[in-house]
Structure 1
Amino acid sequence: MTAAYWVTIPLVRLDIELPRDEPIRFNRLRQKVYFYEYRQDRVRVLSKKHWGVRPVVYNWSDLIAEVYSLYAPMGNGGLVENIVIAVRKSGTNEIIDRLFFSHDLEDGKQYWEIIRLFMQQGPDALPTFVRPPRDWDNDFELTPIRRLAPRVQWPEAIDRESRTAPEPSTDSQATNKVTP
């Protein structure tokens, strides 16, 4: 009986608590990337600390994309290829976190190249897209259960920081002045 609860509770919590999407925000001017990460722990199934949304912020220079493949017993041949974003500790090659990015290898490569282009050259360097971006609030392709999922709500400080440019400091303005 206890084992049935241990298996059922995580599945119910995922259905109820998992947000509609897990967005990533890229702030080119700050060179920061903001993740809306959902955590789950199969051992501590009733813990509020180990379950739920955790917004995280990383420096763009610390991120790399990793591709991994594995064979699993499945009906489609068993090969699974995913892309994750690995976060390195600043100044080292030690990986401190991995965040899921894409299930599809080719789509993931294209998305990563578009992101790199945006972060290096800005929005003017992006290609013209055939379809508009997906609106998760008005997406009719979502299943009825996914429509009931909680909407993404960034904490106010992170929401403001991820949408704005850094404040110009007075020191940098003083050093950039040209004297006649």
Structure 2
Amino acid sequence: MTVNGARPLLHPRAPGWKKDLAAPNDKPVEVVTTRYISNPPNCFDQIYLELPRQTLNVRGPIAILAIGLMILFVLGTALYFLTLELDYPSLEYLIADLMFLSGLLLTAGSAIWGWRLDTECPRDEPIRFNRVRRKVYVYRFRSNAFRLFSRTEWGVQVDVFDWDDLHAEYCSAYGPMGTGGKIEMVMLTVREPGTNIAKDRFKFAGSQEDGESYWTIAQLFMQQGPQAIPAFDRPPRDWNNEDDTLNIARRLAPKVKWPEDIDFESRTAP
């Protein structure tokens, strides 16, 4: 799908692509209205800027749903063993039992995935822009729905990219909801140097407004410095200081802890 005849610059195209934002070193085209941005930057100085970033727009409901699914799994298992017959009178009974057991396994797997996703995803997944090194440092959470108990497929990784290789894209699609629900986000895509081939993509913001505003702030900082960042009326949010919240997912979520070497590199000049 294209917008006004436009086509995506990069290939393969991003799912739900609607438009490309300004290139990293182009003049910003977005006017930042700070009162409409969800959260101000976490911190910034003469060298680096850190913006908040969340893979999950809402925390808590998935964990609650996972608890409900696990309860359903336990009740279903109890019901199965209470009604279990050792001698199947027909093939239909065997097929029905296999379908019921498959449903129980799917319920358990969904519960485990939802619980791990909502409680193990960090409280924030920030992204740092270092204007002196011209590098971008991304604190990312990985998960794998098909390897629920893997230690290597779940957890935080930090990726480092060149600022010049980034490309911002606005994407939206309608999710599989009963009443229809629009899912929109701004993605950051990493290009193969000197080409228009996308080699990696990750979520930058969960709405068009936040994504375009954050991207403009990053452009202003990288091109002009911290004095170009607009003033915010409220202080930054302390993502690690949320132990008093009633949200079970946020209470259990790990705090943000950058690896020491990356933490030092991302905040300093060469």
Q: Secondary structure at the match of 1:36?
A: strand
**What is aligned with 1:160?**
264
Structure-to-structure mapping, 1:86-125, within 5 angstroms: 86-125=189-228
Structure 1 range deviating more: 142-151 or 121-130:
142-151
Counterpart selection for 2:166 from 37, 43, 63:
63
Q: What are structure 1's unaligned runs of at least 5 residues?
A: 167-180
Structure with greater strand share of residues? 1
Deviation at 1:57, TM superposition (A): 0.5
Secondary structure (helix, strand or coil) at the match of 1:100 reads strand
- For normalisation by structure 1, the TM-score amounts to 0.84
Say which SS state the counterpart of residue 158 (structure 1) adopts. helix
2:118 corresponds to which residue? 15
Taking the aligned partners of 2:210 and 2:259, their CA distance within structure 1 comes to: 30
Per the alignment, residue 178 of structure 1 pairs with: none
2:238 match: secondary structure: coil
Mean Cα displacement is larger for which, 68-77 or 130-139?
68-77
CA distances 1:50-105 after superposition (whole Å, capped 9, x unpaired)? 11111101000011111111122436653222111111111211111111111211
Aligned pair in 2 of structure 1 residues 75, 23: CA closer, same or farther (>3 Å)? same
Name the residue aligned to 1:169.
none
TM-score by length of 2: 0.57
Alignment of 1:27-66 (within 5 A): 27-66=130-169
CA shift, 1:111, in A, is 1.1
Aligned length: 166
Matched residue of 2:256: which SS?
A: coil
* Larger RCO (CA under 8 A, 6+ residues apart): 2
Q: Alpha-carbon deviation of 1:156?
A: 1.0
- CA 1:54/1:2 → structure 2, altered by over 3 Å: closer, same or farther? same
